[in-house]
Homo-oligomer: A and B are copies of this chain.
Amino acid sequence: MASKNLLLLAGDGIGPEAMAEVKKLIAAMNVKLGSGFITDEGLVGGCAYDAHGAAISDADMAKAMAADAVLFGAVGGPKWDAVPYEVRPEAGLLRLRKDMELFANLRPAICYPALAASSSLKQEVVEGLDILIVRELTGGVYFGEPKQIIDLGNGQKRGIDTQVYDTFEIERISGVAFELARTRKNHVTSMEKRNVMKSGVLWNEVVTQTHKARYADVKLDHMLADAGGMQLVRWPKQFDVIVTDNLFGDMLSDIAAMLTGSIGMLPSASLGAPDAKTKKRKALYEPVHGSAPDIAGKGIANPIAMIASFAMCMRYSFGMVAEADRLESAIAAVLDQGLRTRDILSPGMTEVGTTEMGDAIIAKF
* Chain A interfacial positions (CB closer than 8 Å to B): 76, 85, 88, 90, 94, 120-122, 125, 141-142, 144, 147-149, 152, 155-168, 193, 195-203, 225-227, 229-230, 233-235, 247-248, 250-251, 254-255, 257-259, 263, 290
Contacts and interface: CB of A to CB of B under 8 A. Distances in A.
A260 to B, nearest CB: 10
A259 B88 CA distance: 34
B158 A166 contact: yes
A255 B229 contact: yes
A44 to B, nearest CB: 14
A189 to B, nearest CB: 16
A251 B229 contact: yes
In the complex, the count of this chain's copies comes to 2
B142 A196 contact: yes
A159 B199 contact: yes
A207 to B, nearest CB: 12
A201 B149 contact: yes
B235 A254 contact: no
Given A120-B125, A121-B122, A233-B258, A193 B250 contact: yes
B198 A160 contact: yes
Contacts of A195: 76, 88, 90
A251 B231 CA distance: 12
Contacts of A229: 229, 251, 254-255, 258
Contacts of A157: 166-167, 202
A87 to B, nearest CB: 12
A120 B226 CA distance: 17
A222 to B, nearest CB: 10
A147 B85 CA distance: 26
Nearest to A85: B201
A86 to B, nearest CB: 11
Contact of A230 (B125, B160, B234, B254): B254
22 contacts: A94-B196, A120-B122, A121-B233, A149-B198, A149-B201, A156-B168, A158-B164, A158-B167, A159-B164, A159-B198, A159-B199, A159-B201, A159-B202, A161-B162, A161-B197, A193-B247, A226-B251, A227-B290, A230-B255, A230-B258, A233-B259, A234-B258
A296 B122 CA distance: 30
A198 B148 contact: yes
Contact of A160 (B162, B196, B250, B255): B162
Sorted from nearest, which 6 A-B pairs have the closest CB atoms? A159-B202, A159-B199, A230-B258, A161-B163, A226-B254, A90-B195
Nearest to A117: B122
B152 A156 contact: no
Contacts of A156: 166-168
A316 B59 CA distance: 59
B160 A164 contact: yes
Nearest to A200: B159
Nearest to A209: B155
Contacts of A94: 196
Contacts of A197: 141, 147, 159, 161
A312 to B, nearest CB: 21
